[in-house]
């Protein structure tokens, strides 16, 4: 546990708070030049407010009483990126072959500008060439009709609206498959599976008001300052009224240390920051199960002494499994707990002190828990801890996974799922007069395996940069060109679009901030935030090109070209008025979406509800289940000598594989991203030197050579036994078969690697 002043003077460190003038400066740096800046600022004014568009960056809640500016530094970057004046049209592709583009950096591909025309890959000239929409739909539809539906995949990245997602899933099921993975399969699928099993809800249980009355927040592996900065406002308010915050994170993330609200003139002028964390515990990657076990062990000892610590009434009436958990915790040695977590028995005792004093506790988490081999076990441990004192189903308590994309949670709500048991198939069958497929579809990991072994013949991506976001991409890259059909709906060019064979199509779409004009007039769409509230969103800007289609229009175009006509499939009517699609959603999910059209612009969004808040448990046992973890470490294997656990990080200047720039301001790093962070003590112990060139080599024991070279070693404040590098550059090092055992979410925070010094003459940047 460290005080900021104890920061090692040899390691880079951003000593300013999150927010403040730094975020204003960063926003100004990303604004376009001239009049384009004014027009983007006008769009930002309406962002995340009723009547405006919902941000395309993170999924954090939108309050009923918005701030004057209800956007953050990174939300602004996303909007500025969407509304760039640059265009990437047919003339761009006439100048560049696809093979040449394959060598470009992620940033440079996207920086070419907004895609404007539908394109077909022409193998003879190795170029994308312009086609008409009709040609594209007819050719793709014809190809799909000739394929076995179960050999095709309809992937969704978490941005597409509820309306688009509903139609996309319907199209897949009428066509004949449940291969509907989405980006959630790379992030919070662990949540969907683990929370469902333990408490019967696949999503978090908190609403914004809970942050107004909680008195302790436990933060595990979620980087609020970069990835959901608007969450810093309720956090700051909570801290100001005396709520305590404890953070478990191997990296000292600035947003969880202190924050200056850029919208508070007094704070800005006096530069007075609010400290965020009361305790900051630099847990080892994968050490959360052991850390929480240590806290629970302290609490059990206290409960044994003073019988009133646990909420006995709650435990007796609502839970099962506590005695097994207690026995498992009692059997762990303190030595094991300390070595796996990297935290001392005393520090974990302090956490137990805070926990025992708090009446109302919230557990918040992100990718630091979900992206591990035992990710589900880590989540179960956090739920176990919360339940000891009845911290579920009371105001000011709950479990709060912070979701990723702006509608990733909502897509699952309206049927994007490879798990048919989560979808009301019988109701769909009734509504649309067809027999939906009942067999389980593919997760992201299974899709990659299918692309590798040739069983997946066609991949249609509704957004995303799939081939760059997955693990083991070095091995998978060549397999993409063997797909018979590869259709990408996108706004900007990315690396996946350059991995093409004969049947590749690039279909450009509108972004959420643009006017979506259909036969009945301008359309609104809806999305669900991390706290399960549904919001309407209206685009106000002129589209980047008049050749663009909206996402629903592309889905309808593809569906009509693929499926037989059927009186219940009124694609054109639905497209003409998205209100009709919302009526269909309300028909399929009457409990959650009643009066959908009437409620969609309710300030703060309307709540779809969660039975856990009433202490109703839709689990197998009908109770909230204490779950005993299968392992005391979240890693696949505890690293041996010379092996480090690699965590892959997002910088403050990226949204997933979209790299806006090369600054990671909140970590004090201004870099080309080809860096590996390691603690100064470990650098010394390994006989290496700060600034030296190194190669990372996979230490996963499967005989596959994975390496990333040309990295600069940077001394950084990290726990022993781990190194950190940026995603997606480091994805070549993450083995595909290392994934959460329950949900198949890749273990992006737990790849075993060796650090090898490079000698002069080594090939820089080579990956394999
Ligand atoms: N600006 C911006 N916003 C985003 C995104 C973006 O890329 N940029 N991405 C969006 C998406 S899709 C998602 S899913 C979310 C992701 O947002 P987060 O959930 O914050 O994900 P990461 O940044 O990958 O990592 C989270 C934190 O986990 C810590 N960590 C790593 N390993 C461990 C561990 O074993 N234990 C613990 N306790 N901590 C660990 C890391 O140090 C890091 O601070 O953000 C969304 N919002
Ligand atoms: N090593 C490592 N790998 C990871 C992670 C990690 O933490 N570490 N995180 C994982 C996670 S949590 C996620 S969610 C994935 C996601 O990773 P990505 O697939 O990169 O996610 P996106 O941000 O959706 O994809 C960006 C692309 O989507 C397209 N796009 C942008 N806006 C729109 C739109 O409005 N409509 C459409 N149709 N397309 C649009 C653009 O063309 C852009 O190039 O990466 C995963 N990969
Ligand atoms: Mo994500």
Question: In 3D, which of 168, 233, 222, 203 has the Cα closest to residue 552?
Answer: 168
User: Domain check: are 650 and 667 in the same one?
Assistant: yes
The pLDDT > 70 percentage for the chain reads 95
Give the residue-averaged pLDDT of 372-384.
98
In the sheet that holds 152-156, the strands lie side by side as: 127-130, 119-122, 504-508, 485-490, 458-462, 152-156
In tens, the pLDDT along 217-245 reads 999 999 999 999 999 999 999 999 999 99
Instruction: Label residue 1 by pLDDT band (50, 70, 90).
Output: very low
Q: Whose CA is nearest to atom 35 of ligand 2?
A: 511
- The arithmetic mean of pLDDT across residues 693-710, rounded, is 95
Ligand 1 atom showing the smallest separation from residue 648 Cα: 24
> Which ligand is the nearest neighbour of the Cα of 72?
1
The pLDDT value recorded for residue 14 is 62
Residues 6+ apart with CB under 8 A from 317: none
At 261, the pLDDT band (50, 70, 90 cuts) reads: confident
CATH of the domain at 680: 2.40.40.20
- Which residue would you say has higher pLDDT here, 198 or 7? 198
Ligand 1 close to Cβ of residue 647 (< 6 A): yes
The pLDDT, as a whole number, for residue 762 is 55
Domain boundary among 82, 97, 128: 82
> Do 173 and 286 reside in the same domain of the chain?
no
Whether 401 is in the pocket of ligand 2, judged by its Cβ within 6 Å, is no
CA of 221 relative to ligand 1 center, distance in Å: 7
Does 386 share its domain with 428? Answer: no
Within this chain, do residues 214 and 234 fall inside the same structural domain, yes or no?
yes
Confidence of residue 9 (pLDDT cuts 50, 70, 90): low
Is 72 inside any structural domain? yes
Q: pLDDT at position 8, please? A: 55
Q: Give yes or no: residues 248 and 368 share one domain.
A: yes
CATH at residue 452: 3.40.50.740
Length, in residues, of the chain: 768
Locus of tokens 């062990």:
297
Q: What is the pLDDT of residue 545?
A: 98
Task: Determine which of 24-28, 580-584, 638-642, 649-653 has the lowest per-residue pLDDT on average.
Answer: 24-28
Kindly report the three-state secondary structure assignment for every residue of 398-461.
Answer: EEEECCCECCHHHHHHCCCCCCHHHCCHHHHHHHHCCCCCCCCCCCHHHHHHHHHHCCCCEEEE
Q: Which of 186, 230, 249, 648 to mutate to test the pocket of ligand 1 (most atoms within 8 A of CB)?
A: 249
Task: Assess if residue 767 is contained within a domain.
Answer: no
| Average pLDDT, integer, range 573-584 | 98
The answer, yes or no, to whether any atom of ligand 1 lies below 6 A from the CB of 660, is: no
pLDDT band at 365 (very low <50, low <70, confident <90, very high): very high
- CA–centroid distance, residue 662 to ligand 1 (Å): 18
* Ligand 2 in reach of 462 Cβ (< 6 A): yes
Answer whether residue 269 shows pLDDT above 90.
no
Spatial contact of 740 and 370, defined as CB atoms under 8 Å apart: yes
Q: Is 131 in the pocket of ligand 2 (CB under 6 A)?
A: no
pLDDT classification of 765: cutoffs 50, 70, 90 = very low
pLDDT at 42 over 90: no
Q: Please compute the mean of the pLDDT values over residues 407-427 and round it to a whole number.
A: 96
Q: Is the pLDDT of residue 203 over 60?
A: yes
Q: Which domain holds residue 30?
A: 18-82
Q: What is the pLDDT of residue 284?
A: 98
The answer on pLDDT for 266 being more than 90 is no
Same domain, 100 and 36: no
Counting the structural domains of the chain, the total is 4
Please choose from 186, 659, 732, 744 the residue to mutate so as to test ligand 2's pocket, defined by most ligand atoms within 8 A of CB.
186
**Strands 521-522 vs 517-518: parallel, antiparallel or unpaired:** antiparallel
Q: 158 lies in a domain?
A: yes
Measured from the alpha carbon of residue 550, the closest ligand is 2
Which residue's alpha carbon is at the smallest distance from atom 13 of ligand 1? 404
Examine the pLDDT at 485 and tell me if it is beyond 70: yes
Average pLDDT (611-640) is 96
Last residue of a domain, one of 28, 49, 82: 82
Q: Is the pLDDT of residue 3 over 80?
A: no
Residue 645 CB–ligand 2 contact under 6 Å = no
| Ligand 2 pocket mutation pick from 105, 113, 157, 508 by most atoms within 8 angstroms of CB | 157
Count the Cβ atoms, other than its own, within 10 Å of residue 576.
16
Residues 118 and 66 placed together within one structural domain of the fold: no
Considering only residues 74 and 645, tell me which one the structure prediction assigns the higher pLDDT.
645
Q: Is 76 exposed, middle or buried (0-12, 13-18, 19+ CB in 10 A)?
A: buried
Do 464 and 367 fall within a single domain?
no
pLDDT at 761: 58
15 pLDDT band, cuts 50/70/90, is low
Lowest mean pLDDT among 283-297, 365-379, 661-675: 661-675
What mean pLDDT comes out for the span 494-500?
Answer: 96
Asked if residue 609 belongs to a domain, the reply is no
pLDDT given at position 89: 97
pLDDT band at 12 (very low <50, low <70, confident <90, very high): low
**Using CA atoms, how far apart are residues 723 and 734, in angstroms rounded to an integer?**
13
- Look up the pTM and report it: 0.95
Using a 10 angstrom Cβ sphere, with 0-12 exposed, 13-18 middle and 19 or more buried, the burial of residue 304 is exposed
How high does pLDDT run on average in the chain?
Answer: 93
């Amino acid at each position: 546990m460290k005080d900021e002043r104890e920061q090692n003077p040899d390691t880079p460190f951003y000593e300013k708070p999150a927010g403040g003038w730094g975020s204003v400066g960063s926003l100004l740096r990303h604004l376009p030049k001239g009049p384009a800046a004014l027009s983007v600022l006008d769009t930002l004014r309406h962002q995340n407010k009723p009547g405006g568009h919902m941000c395309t960056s993170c999924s954090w809640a939108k309050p009923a009483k918005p701030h004057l500016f209800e956007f953050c530094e990174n939300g602004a970057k996303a909007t500025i990126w969407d509304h760039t004046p640059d265009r990437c049209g047919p003339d761009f592709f006439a100048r560049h072959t696809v093979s040449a583009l394959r060598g470009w950096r992620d940033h440079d591909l996207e920086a070419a500008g907004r895609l404007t025309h539908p394109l077909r890959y022409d193998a003879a000239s190795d170029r994308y060439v312009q086609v008409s929409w009709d040609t594209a739909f007819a050719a793709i539809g014809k190809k799909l009709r000739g394929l076995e539906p179960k050999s095709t995949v309809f992937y969704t990245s978490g941005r597409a609206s509820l309306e688009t997602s509903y139609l996309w899933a319907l199209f897949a099921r009428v066509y004949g498959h449940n291969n509907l993975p989405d980006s959630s399969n790379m992030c919070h699928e662990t949540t969907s599976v683990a929370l469902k099993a333990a408490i019967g809800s696949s999503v978090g249980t908190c609403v914004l008001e809970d942050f107004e009355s909680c008195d302790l927040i436990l933060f595990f592996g979620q980087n609020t300052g970069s990835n959901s900065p608007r969450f810093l406002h309720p956090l700051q308010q909570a801290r100001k009224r005396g709520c305590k915050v404890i953070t478990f994170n191997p990296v000292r993330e600035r947003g969880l240390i202190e924050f200056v609200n850029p919208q508070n003139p007094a704070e800005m002028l006096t530069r007075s920051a609010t400290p965020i964390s009361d305790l900051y515990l630099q847990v080892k990657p994968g050490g959360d199960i052991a850390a929480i076990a240590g806290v629970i062990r302290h609490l059990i000892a206290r409960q044994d002494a003073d019988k009133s610590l646990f909420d006995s009434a709650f435990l007796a009436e609502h839970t099962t499994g506590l005695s097994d958990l207690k026995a498992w915790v009692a059997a762990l040695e303190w030595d094991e707990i300390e070595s796996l977590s990297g935290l001392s028995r005393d520090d974990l005792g302090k956490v137990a002190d805070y926990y025992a004093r708090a009446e109302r506790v919230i557990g918040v988490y992100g990718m630091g828990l979900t992206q591990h081999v035992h990710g589900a076990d880590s989540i179960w441990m956090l739920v176990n801890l919360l339940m000891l004192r009845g911290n579920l189903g009371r105001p000011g308590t709950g479990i709060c996974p912070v979701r990723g994309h702006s509608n990733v949670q909502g897509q699952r709500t309206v049927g994007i799922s490879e798990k048919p048991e989560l979808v009301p198939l019988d109701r769909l069958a009734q509504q649309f007069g067809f027999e939906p497929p009942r067999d389980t579809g593919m997760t992201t990991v299974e899709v990659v395996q299918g692309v590798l072994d040739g069983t997946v013949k066609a991949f249609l991506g509704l957004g995303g940069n799939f081939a760059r976001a997955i693990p083991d991409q070095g091995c998978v890259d060549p397999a993409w060109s063997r797909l018979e059909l590869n259709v990408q709906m996108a706004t900007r060019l990315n690396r996946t679009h350059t991995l093409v064979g004969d049947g590749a199509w690039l279909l450009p779409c509108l972004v959420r901030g643009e006017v979506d004009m259909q036969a009945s007039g301008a359309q609104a769409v809806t999305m669900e935030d991390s706290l399960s509230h549904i919001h309407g969103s209206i685009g106000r800007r002129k589209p980047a090109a008049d050749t663009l289609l909206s996402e629903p229009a592309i889905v309808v175009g593809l569906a009509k070209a693929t499926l037989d006509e059927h009186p219940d499939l009124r694609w054109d009517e639905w497209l003409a008025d998205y209100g009709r699609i919302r009526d269909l959603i309300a028909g399929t999910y009457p409990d959650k979406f009643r009066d959908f059209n009437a409620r969609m612009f309710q300030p703060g969004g309307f709540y779809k509800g969660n039975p856990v808040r009433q202490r109703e448990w839709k689990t197998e046992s009908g109770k909230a289940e204490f779950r005993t973890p299968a392992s005391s470490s979240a890693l696949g294997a505890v690293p041996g000598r010379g092996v480090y656990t690699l965590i892959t990080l997002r910088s403050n200047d990226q949204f997933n594989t979209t790299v806006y720039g090369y600054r990671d301001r909140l970590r004090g790093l201004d870099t080309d991203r080809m860096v590996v962070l390691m603690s100064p003590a470990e650098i010394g112990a390994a006989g290496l030197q700060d600034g030296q060139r190194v190669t990372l080599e996979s230490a996963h024991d499967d005989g596959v050579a994975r390496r990333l070279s040309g990295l600069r070693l940077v001394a950084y404040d990290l726990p022993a036994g781990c190194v950190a590098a940026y995603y997606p550059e480091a994805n070549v090092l993450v083995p595909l078969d290392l994934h959460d055992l329950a949900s198949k979410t890749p273990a992006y925070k737990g790849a075993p690697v060796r650090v090898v010094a490079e000698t002069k003459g080594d090939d820089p940047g080579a990956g394999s």
